[in-house]
Structures are given as structure tokens and as C-alpha cells.
Structure 1
Amino acid sequence: MGGARASRPDGARARATATARGTRTDGLEISSGEPAPLGPTATTSGGINFATYSESASEVSLCVYDESDDWSEATPRWEVPMTRTGNVWHARVERGAPRRGARYGYRCKGAGGWETGARWYEDRVMMDPYAPLVEARRKVFGEGPKHATHGDVNDPDMLSGYDFESEPFDWAGVESPKIEEKDMIVYEMTVRAFTADASSGLDEKTRGSYAGVAARVDHLKALGVNVVELLPVFEYDEMEFQRIPNPRDHMINTWGYSTMSFFAPMSRFGTKGASAARASREFKEMVKALHAAGIQVILDVVYNHTGEMNDELPNLCSMRGIDNKTYYMTDTSKYVQMLNFTGCGNTLNANHPYVSKFIVDSLKHWVREYHVDGFRFDLASALCRDEKGHPMNSPPVIRAIAKDPELSHVKLIAEPWDCGGLYQVGSFPNWDRWSEWNGAYRDVLRRFIKGDEGVKSDFARRISGSADMYHTNKRKPYHSVNFITAHDGFTLHDLVSYNGKHNMANGESNNDGSNDNLSWNCGHEGETGDKAVRGLRWRQMKNFQVALMISQGTPMMVMGDEYGHTRYGNNNTYGHDDKLNNFQWNELEKQKAHYFRFSSEMIKFRLANPLLGREDFLNDDDVTWHEDRWDDPSSKFLAFTLHDRGQGFGDTYIAFNAHEFYVDAALPAPPHGKRWARVVDTNLPSPEDFIAEGKFGVESRYNVAPRASVILVAK
């Protein structure tokens, strides 16, 4: 099959072509240029060098549009044949091209039809995979014509851009805060959803933008987190569901897991109507504001697939039309040639030598240009496959990222599974660098807190740092990223309010999203006015927050959980640009003295207590387990003491009771000259549920309430 060819508009200008150095055409002076670096590069003589990679192409031309051009036309203002050196095509514009505000791309031709694995579409100008900026027709997030633009689903909505004339960004001496991995408190958040709601108090132009995040850094500081993990901020097509009529064409992609460019920031996360160049600057201003507040920035990056879709609904706009067989995994022996280990129609051929370099170059670009502090890799196990999709023990791209000198100081976090069944929790290839989202931690914590039998021993292992999974190859407790909730799945509120998913609003008859949520509704499905049920839910949420913050490893929480955000049981809200995802600042105000206070105090308690977030795994001198019923599946009570051993904080006693009855627990004797002081009891109302300085009066026993947790500190 092949893409429909766009017809040339009547009266379109003839293509301006040139081949030899010094040739002028329509005001343009060009030469063959250099094969490195890839992408557009300003030269010292005032020119611009362009270079792109394609093994399979037989012809590549550089196409340049100025600001006034309609780039839906097949013919750009300038089109320059490029010179081939090896597999790199290059040309240099010596004079005449605009140095800012222009759009450009590549037109590629090659031999062979789609049966060969190629995807030539020569009437389409392709985005540069190395483009530092991407200009979109749409300047406002989520605004645009429904279904096909200009009558052709393959008509480009965005094109490569550059800006070589803006003033250099002034970082004003603001550097990234020094936060060791063992001290990280990660807050997973969405740039747009954080301030898109009117309750954020920001003007309409700023809501949902990088500038919006910068404006509300005060909340992050008050909460106490020191690392934000931003859902995808690479340029993507939020209107991808609306190309043709389908059950999801009412939705807008607000999560961003459909990358179109690995180098350009999402332009429509700039202030309303901002250019790509302006959005890039606002991204830097956001990073600068976060760093000034003592908060590091990690990006959730999607290198496992792109938004170029599959052959059922191809969105040929960049890599697929430049060199499909290099960039993507294909199998020409199959009817469906695009291999799909991501659930999104395609899989990047990440361990091809060039594609591996491409990914590493992208990471280094974000570190150099935007000063980011680390990366979380979506479906990272897909990057551990060879060109045919077979798992690799030592995937070159994973090693290259771990060993690159420029990336030696950044955090690397893997989501260690993919949609093809490659599950690597605890075994992700790591070179002593990579951390992992610990899915086993999530599942065990959910089961124990909701009261399942037979999981107490596993619960103890997970809150102790999962040494059974990570105590190898010089790995540390902090290589386990512990989480109860994440962007996909239930929020913390919904985890204690729904037994099943409620995804009808997604248009797929409730068939999408996970069916295995390990949740418990506390006796009533969904919203209720029953005070007893509501009280139990808040107590369960506190129990989860206690467990997360006392666990060895790196804790991660999700935006909105600090006040009890609800998505009303929808566990797959990727396409809802509304209150299902948007942070509700009014709800935060209601919880400032209640659950938000408790959640924030637990974060600060963890950061202040050196017995938590340890550099090394616990040994017998570090912890005493007050337990003699490890093998009793009916036992749901666990208590232990972390020993101070001269660190100055005080022994810390922690107990979890997942039973439906009180447990009269015998307390260990505190160290000589000290007494137990109660810091946490999740059964008590605020502010008694957390007393930072501790409350004396605890003697030799403590009656732990049903479904409650307790923390005592020897003072």
C-alpha cells in the first residue's frame, strides 16, 4: 500500500534547486556542507548546515519555507538537493535563508515499495529527527479541526524549525541542586494538568504551561518533594485520536506518550499562542525556577515508539518517511510489517548503531540545552530488543546511556517492562546505574494495606528495599523506585474508593485500562456521604503514605494524591483534558489542614530521619522485627524497630495493622535514658495523626487500631 499523493496547488512556485558551491537560486547561496553534526547548525560564517541520516534513500532534498509560506503546499520556497557521505545527507545554506522563524524538512525518495519495509512518500516533506524546534499549525493546545486536516490525514500539522538569533538564555548562576539518589522524593506530574484548571488562579494565557509550573513552585516546596518527574514534554500530536472518526475521537492526548520529536519541547505547553522558540525559552525558565527552589527535573521520555502510528493509520511525517527500515523494527515476511512491542503500532529499532546514537544525542541535548537532571524511560524493556524484537542480555543502547560521560551525573530510571511480555523488574540491564520502577512493590503494598492474607513476608521485603531483587551487581536500595500509584491506573483516592474501573467516558465500552487494580472500595463503590466509609478511606490513604515514606528505596508519588484527587474510577485517563486529570486547587485548599498536612509531614519526616532512605541495605544490626508469625497467612500485623546506632535521630518503631480489630502490641524497651514518643497514628484525627515533635505518654504497650499504622520515636 502507499500514501495518497498531495496535489500541487495551482500557481505553485517551481522548485528552486542548486547543486554546486556558490550557486544562487532565488536569493539562496548553497554548498554541499558537512555530514556532521546532524540537524541544523549555524556556521561561523553566518550559514546554516543541514544533515540527516538515511541508509535507504536514493535522493534527499532540503526544503525550506519562510514564515509567510503555507507548508501544506507540496512545493516549498527553496528545495536543495543534498550530498551523500556514507549514509548522511547534507547541504549548507551559505546565504539567503532566514535564521529564525523558518520551517524546513526533507523530501526523500528511494527504491522499493512498502513490501520491502520502506515507506516512501515523496510528496510529503518530513520533519528532521534532530530538529531543535518544531513549529505546529496549531498554536493552542487541543484547538484544531476535527478529523483530517486539509482533507488528508497525512497532511503535516507540524514541521521542523530553528532559531539562531535569540539571545542566549541567562541561567543567572542557578545550578541544579545536589540531591543524592538516596534522598530523592519524586513527584510525578503533568505540565499541562498541573495548572490548566481555572482554580490554579493563573490567567488564561498561563494556565497549563511551563510558565504555570514555574508560577506554582510554592506548592511543590510546601509539599516537600525535591524531584519532579514530568510526563512527556517532547513535541507530540495531542490531536492524534481525531484523524478519522473512531470511538476515541472525542479525546485529546493530554499525557503525551506519542512523541513526534526527540529534541524539541512541546510548543503548545508554552503560554497561549507562543512560538516554538518562545516555548523553548519558557521551558528553561521553568527548570530555572524549579532548581532555584531546590527541586530537580526528571523527564519521562518515550524512545520505545513514536506517534507515526502503524500502517492502518500511518502518520508519515518524519522517521518513517526518511528511513523506515532503520528507525523502526520491521519484518517483511509478515503481512503486518511494523513490529509492535509497545501497544502503539510501532517499535523503535533502538539498538541499531545509528538509532542508538540518535537516542543518546537526544538525551545529551536535554542535559546541555535545558539543564535537566535525569530521565525516566517509558517501556524501557522495548529498548532491550534487537532489530527483530528478540530480547538482548546487554542491549547496546542501554549500555551507551549508562556509560556516556556527559550523562554520568544524571538519574536513569527504567519502566522495566513492555507490551510484548518482556518483564524485567529486578533484572533490568543496569551497569550499576539504572534504577527501576518497582512494580512488585506497588502490587504487594496494595495487597497488604487492603488486608489480603499471606503477603506479610513480602510486605516486609518490599518496605526493606527489595534486597531479594536488587542486592546484586553493586545495586543499592534507591535503585528501587517505590510507588503505590502512577499516572496510569487509579489515583490514591480511587484505589480506596473503587473495586473496579469505570472507563466508559473513554469510548471503548470499559474495555480499556487494567482490570487488575488490587483496590478496595472500603465498603461502597464510588462517591458516598457515609462518614464511616469516608473516614476509613482517608485512614487507608494515610497508611499508604506512611508505608511509602518509611520504605527503603526511592519514593514516588503522583500529582494530586496529596489532596485526594479523584478520576471517579477511570484508570486510563490519557485522553481527558479536563478535571479528570487537571489538578483541582480548590480541593487542595479543603485538605490543607488535613490530608495534605499529613502527606507533607510524612515527606518531611522521611527527609529528616537518616534511618530511612539508606545508602545500603538493612542488616541485622539495623532492624529488629517484632514478629514470630511470618508463616501464618492470617497474620496481618507487622512491627519493627529501626536502630539509630549513633545517627542522632532516635530509634524508630513502626507498626502496620491491616486487621479489622485492635492489636495490643508489646513495645520494645527504648534505649537507655529515652522514652517512646508518638509521631504518627493514622487512626487519630488531624492534627493528632501527625505530631512532628512527638507526644510522650506511650509506655510498654500500644493499642494499634484496626487498619491503622503507628510511628514512635525514642526521644
Structure 2
Amino acid sequence: MPSDPNRPGVTLTREGTHFTVFSRHATHVDLCLYAPSDPSRETARIRMTRGESDLWQAFVPKARAGQLYGYRAHGPWMPGSALRYNPNKLLLDPYALAIVGKPDGSTGMLGTGGTTHFPGAFDNGAEALKSAVVDTYYNWRKDAPPRIPWQDTVLYELHVKGFTQNHPDVPKKLRGTYAGLAHPAVTSYLKKLGVTSLQLLPVHQHLDDQFLLEKGLTNYWGYNTIGFFAPHNEYASNADPTVQVREFKDMVKGLHAAGLEVILDVVYNHTAEGDERGPTLLFRGLDDRMYYRHTFDEHGSNYINITGCGNAVDSATPPTLRLILDSLRYWVTEMHVDGFRFDLAVTVARDHHDNYDANSQFLAAVAQDPVLSQVKLIAEPWDIFRMDSYQVGGFPEPWRELNGKYRDSVRRFWAGDEGSTAEFAKRICGSQDVFGWNQRPALSTINFLTSHDGFTLLDLVSYASKHNEANGEDNRDGDNANHSVSCGVEGPTQDPRVLNLRARLRRSLLATLMTSVGVPFINAGDERGRTQKGNNNAYCQDNELSWIDWSQCDEEMLDFTRRIIALRKSMANLRRTQFFSGQTDPATGIADVTWLEGDASLLCHEEWHDPKRSFFGALLDGQPPVLLLFNRGDLPQTFELPGTNATVWSLIFDTSLVTGFLPPDSRLIEGSVSFQIKASSIACLRLKRGPALANAHC
């Protein structure tokens, strides 16, 4: 690859290595080289040359892959003007492809002397993290990205380490690693489950918070990024930086071979440097003013904390926007990932006035990018502390959005909340009220019930309150509005009635997810009955509380999950790409959706808003038509099945049954007869023959 002085990062050539880093306000920048065999030993220090576009450059003859390096930036110490230069701190390359080391959170990483705001005098070069030069060559031959359409996508969120850390069929040395995730025992399980796309919790290099280390905990989830190009080194089975990058590529290639997409959960909204009391690792020391969002007033500058993490990356400045886009393209073109889920995406989509803007610099750049506009893009459509922080439905195409309204509405319905039925019906129909107003497609909504952030599915029906004592914050952390139920007993129980109700509710929740319009999203382990013992904020629990326990499994729930995913895949009317319109199909004589009362009459407007309403039917047109019956109440309800004496329905599944599913056509219901739907249940019937609807009216 030829040397390019206008390309930030590292370029390997036959003659040596070219280093380029951005800093607008530095007066000098030094490139520091360290010995790969002894990362604490500095072997050379080279004064870099400022080039165009504030890019500092240095060429090192004979420098090869494996070379460790960092930067020292000289300049003014003027915190009130958002300038915090401190040459005593070794800085990471924002474009580093691999990072070596694991800082212990000591004060040597801090850029200030405490409340005095004077530059820390301690030189941390020996102990600091080091960037590594990487040989990027890789043989991608025969790699075949699945390129799964949105309507066929089933997302499955997992943690690279936690998913295989206790897997008995993965070799011990590979457990918790990229290689472990691509092991045949894992891919076989995932394929049999039926999911199509793995959404990996953050794999960018991240840092553990000092306050967690002091409590013997770590930032397990990884939403504390310090390397936008580097795979997290602790998830690799090999210490060599180049081998680590290749192991990640091997993982992607192996998952692709199994037909699975790889979606990365990415954190471009903040970094692990935190506020002014945090460590100086990269952006703060290179150019605090250009990389972070600040407020400026008569008292000086302050970090804008709209992420809850102390800082917000300024994606509206040209160098930062370029870095984010370069990072995204790198993961697509060089690492072959299939898409991204953006943490606190509203922060990344803010303009230079710090306001959310659907036409912001970042969103406009992605929309026209020939690479990024073609991959899966998922927004977490909120941040915090601003009037415009909640933006569900506010992102432009081609974005999809995690639909928090879906999660809350479906939870409220199955928790038995009065007045929740009409809202529930909107959500299972694709949330047209949220996405349709600006011509967004029905598949804009990512429907989810649980995720890493909150209760597991089992805990959602086992705990009325959170139990986060293990986090060491006196149970103050975590969301209090969970819309969860305990089914009469808080936590574990041996009461068979409680256990049966919890199992039924889990089946009903999952069946709702798989029969809703939109893209379904499953939290890893929910299909097995995974519990976090009521902890709804296990971000710091790198232990058995968060890891998948492969020695325990609710086999009935696992079987139901496989079957309900397979059913969705087999029926086009459960994978709609358009919102319902109410239009009648001339071929079948029925509308694309018909809402039914228990006597098979049409469910009319005022009945939807009856606060006591707990049951209804939905007849979906298709080949063949399908009838869904919902009953969130505590008592069974009787439905008169639509049709005539010539109509025959076949019961597909009933979540009141332990197995959920019946053998095909094992229960045929002939004629216009009554069907009893049990409490807290969904039943699904397929039209076998005859008319599906006869003279239904309000």
C-alpha cells in the first residue's frame, strides 16, 4: 500500500511505516516507539511534521507489524478554552487497528492534578496502553455475506465473552473469544434456533471504569470505548495484535459460512475519558476542543454530558465525522461486518448546535455513502438530559430503530394493565403512528421485549421490582419502570401454579414478538430460561450472573422458540413489508387485517378504548389466512370463530399448552363454532378451507 500523508492512521510500506495523526491546536506532536517484547520500554521519540488539514506525520524506516507506538501532544493547558495538552501522557492513535495492554486505572492515567486542574506531572509512558502496527492482509476468498432482507431478519443480541465462557463443547482456550463464537458447536445451536443475525455487544477496545475496579467489578458490557478501529483484545485467544485482528476476521468468515450476519453494537457517542476528572487516553490529549462537545460561557468550557458518561463526541466537526465514517467503512470493507447498532444514536446525529437533526452532518453523510448506506443500520433513538433526547420514529431512511414504545406497550398488555389494548394493537401492527407519518416503511421498527439492558425474559415475569444489590450501588441503579410482574411470588419458587403462569406468559410474549409487523429482536438466553436473579442493570457483572449457563435449559421454552421462529419464516403474512391498510383482497374477500370481537363481529373504535378490554381477535389475510386470538385477562374467554358451517380451521399453536405447538392438522375445528382461549394466552389458527369471514359487522 503506498504511503498517503493525508490518510490518518498507520500505513505499512515495504520501506517502513508512515504515521499520521490529527491535532489542530497542538504546537508539537511526538511519535513514541515501544518495544513489542517490553511495552514499558520506549525505544525512540520522533518529532512529527505538521502537514495539510492539521495532520501530523512521521515515517519510520523498517518499522514493521507488531511495532508498538503512541503520541505525546504539546500545547496550551487552558481547560477553560477546552485545551488540555499534557505531553506527560502517552496517547493512543484514534485510528489504531489494535491496542496492547490493560491500564489499571491508576492516577498516572489522569490528565489533571485533581481539583487544581493543573496538568498531571506523572509520565505514564511505561504503563499506558499502546497502539500496535498491524499487517492487514487476509485471505477473504470464499467469504459469502448472507445479505438477509429485513423482512427475513431475526436479530439475536449476545455478548462475545458471555455466550461461550461456560460452553462445554467449546475448547477451554477458546471460550469467551472471537474464535469460540465461531466454533461449530455454537453456530450449530444458532442455526437450529433459527436466528439470522447476531448483534454483538461492543467489541471495540474499551476500558473499565475506575469506580468499578475499586469495587472488584468491570465494565462487562463494554460501552466505554477507547478504540474505534481495534477489536477488544481480551476477547482474542492470542496476544499478538495482528493475530487478534485475523481472529476477528476468522470469526466473521465462520459466521458467514453458517449463514449468520454480524451486526456490531458501536459506541461513537462518548469515550472512556469521561469528564475532566477522567483519564487522558486519546481525544482529550490530542484535541479536546475538536473531538468533544462543549459549552462555552463566561466561566469557561464544560463538557456537554448528554450521554450520562461525562462527555459527548462531537460528530459535527469535520475531523471527528471523518474518523467515525472511516471507522464504519473499515469494519465493513476490511472486517466484513454486515451492519451496526448505534448506541445513543441521537448524540451522534446532533448538529453543530448540539440539536438532534434528521439532516445532520452524520446522517446525511451515511445516507449518501456508497458503502454504509447499503448495510444494516439500527439506531438506539435516544440519549438523555435534553428535551429532544427521545426520537423514536425520528430517524430518516435507511435507518431502522429500536422501538422502545413497542417494548413498553407489549409488556404493559401482558402485565394486565388496564387501558393497554388499543396501544398494544398499534405496536403489533408495526407502529404506523410512529413511523408512517414521514413515509417510513413498516420494517423501520426493531421490535424487542428484552435486551442486555434490563430484565431477561424469565425475570420479566418473575420479579415485580429490580434487585441490583450486586452492583454495589444500594439498588439505586437501573430502570424502575419495567412493567414486569412476579406472578404472585418475587423471584424463585417451586409453586407449580406460579411456574406454569410464568411459562405461559413467556410463550405469549415471544409469540407476540414473532407475529408482529417489524423486525424481531431476541436477547440471548431468553429461549433457554436465563435469569439474572432480578438484576436489570448487569453491566458490571462479568461472572455467572451474566454468562450463559449451558448446564441449565428450559427445554420446553427452547423448543417453543425454535418453532415460533420457524413459523414466522414459513408464513409471508407474518413477515409483512407494508402497514395494514384495511383494504379488501378481491381474491379472498377479506381485508388485510380484520379486528374481531368474541362473537366474531367487528371490534369497533369505542370498544378498543374500553379500559377493561383484555381480549380480541385479528384475522390476517394471506395464503392461507391466519386468525390470532389474544387474551391477557385472568379468565378464559370464548371466541366464535369467523366463517360458515363450511369453514375449517387448524390450530397451529396455543401458548396455554405446555408444548405450545400441536402436530400439523392434529386439531381441526369445523364450522362456525366457539373456541376457548385460556387466560394469559395467544392462539393461532390457520384457515384450512372454506370462507374465513361471513357478514362481520359492528
Q: TM-score, normalized by length of structure 1?
A: 0.88
Identify the match of residue 266 of structure 2 among 301, 304, 309: 301
**1:214 and 2:214 equivalent?**
no
**Offset of residue 94 of structure 1:** 5.2
Q: How much does 1:331 deviate?
A: 2.3
Deviation at 1:336, TM superposition (A): 7.1
The residue type equivalent to 1:608 in the other structure is S
Of 186, 207, 217 in structure 2, the residue corresponding to residue 251 of structure 1 is 217
1:707 counterpart residue number: 680
The 8 Å contact of residues 33 and 67 in structure 2, kept in 1 or not, is answered as yes
| CA positional deviation for 1:346 | 0.6
1:56-455 paired onto structure 2 within 5 Å? 56-71=25-40, 76-93=42-59, 95-97=61-63, 99-136=64-101, 138=102, 156-164=127-135, 168-197=137-166, 199-215=167-183, 216-238=186-208, 240-242=210-212, 245=214, 249-271=215-237, 273-312=238-277, 314-333=278-297, 334=299, 337-387=302-352, 389-421=354-386, 422-430=388-396, 432-455=397-420
Deviates more, 1:278-287 or 1:145-154: 145-154
Q: 1:239 & 1:196 partners in 2: Cα distance?
A: 22
Name which of structure 1's ranges 403-412 and 220-229 shifts more when overlaid on structure 2: 403-412
Residue number in structure 1 paired with 2:695: none
- Helix, strand or coil for the counterpart of 1:698? strand
Percent identity of equivalent pairs: 37
Match of 1:680 among 640, 649, 653: 653
In 2, the alpha carbon distance for the partners of 1:473 and 1:51 equals 43
Would the aligned equivalents of 1:694 and 1:713 in 2 still touch at CA under 8 Å?
no
Determine the C-alpha separation between the residues in 2 that align with 1:289 and 1:694. 39
User: Does the 8 A contact of 2:76 with 2:84 survive in 1?
Assistant: no
Give the partner amino acid of 2:639. Answer: A
Q: In the superposition, relative to structure 1, how do residues 580 and 602 fare at CA in structure 2: closer, same or farther (>3 Å)?
A: same
Match 1:651 to one of 590, 607, 625: 625
Number of aligned residue pairs = 652
Amino acid at match of 2:368: K
The aligned residue for residue 642 of structure 1 is 620
CA distance in 1, matches of 2:413, 2:227: 42
Q: Take 1:362 and 1:103, find their aligned partners in 2: how far apart are those partners?
A: 20
Shift, 1:669, TM fit? 1.5
- TM-score, normalised with respect to structure 2: 0.90
For 1:565-584, what per-residue CA distance to the aligned partner results, in whole angstroms no more than 9, with x for missing partners? Answer: 10011100001111111011
Question: Aligned in 2, Cα 1:674/1:79: closer, same or farther, shift over 3 Å?
Answer: farther
Q: Deviations over 1:605-632 (max 9, x none)?
A: 1111100121111121311111242121
Local SS of the residue matching 1:122: coil
Matches for 1:315-714 after TM superposition, within 5 Å:
315-333=279-297, 334=299, 337-387=302-352, 389-421=354-386, 422-430=388-396, 432-588=397-553, 591-592=554-555, 594-620=556-582, 621-626=591-596, 627-628=603-604, 629-644=607-622, 648=623, 650-669=624-643, 675-686=648-659, 689-691=660-662, 693-699=664-670, 700-714=673-687
Could you say what secondary structure the match of 2:628 adopts?
strand
Aligned partners of 1:266, 1:240: CA distance in 2, in Å? 18
Match of 1:23 in 2: none
Shift of 1:638: 2.0
Give how far 1:675 is off: 2.1
* 1:300 maps to amino acid: D
Counterpart Cα distance in 1 of 2:679 and 2:646:
31
Structure-2 change in CA distance of 1:443 and 1:204 (3 Å): same
Partner of 2:119: none
- The one-letter code of the counterpart of 1:263 is F
Gaps of 5+ in 2: 111-121, 583-590, 597-602, 689-698
Q: For the residues of structure 1 that align with 2:634 and 2:194, how far apart are their CA atoms?
A: 32
* 1:63 positional shift: 1.5
User: Which residue identity does 1:68 align to in structure 2?
Assistant: S
Deviation at 1:57, TM superposition (A): 0.7
Cα distance 1:161–1:70, how it changes in 2: closer, same or farther (>3 A)? closer
Shift of 1:34: 4.9
Does the aligned pair in 1 maintain the 2:393–2:401 contact within 8 Å?
no
Kindly provide the amino acid, as one letter, of the partner of residue 182 in structure 1.
Q
Correspondence for 2:118: none
Distance in 2 separating the partners of 1:54 and 1:150: 20
Tell me if the contact between 1:383 and 1:395 (Cα under 8 Å) persists in the aligned partners: no
Distance 2:178 2:60 in 1: 35
1:516-551 deviation per Cα after TM superposition (whole angstroms, max 9, x unaligned) = 111011111011111100110000000000000000
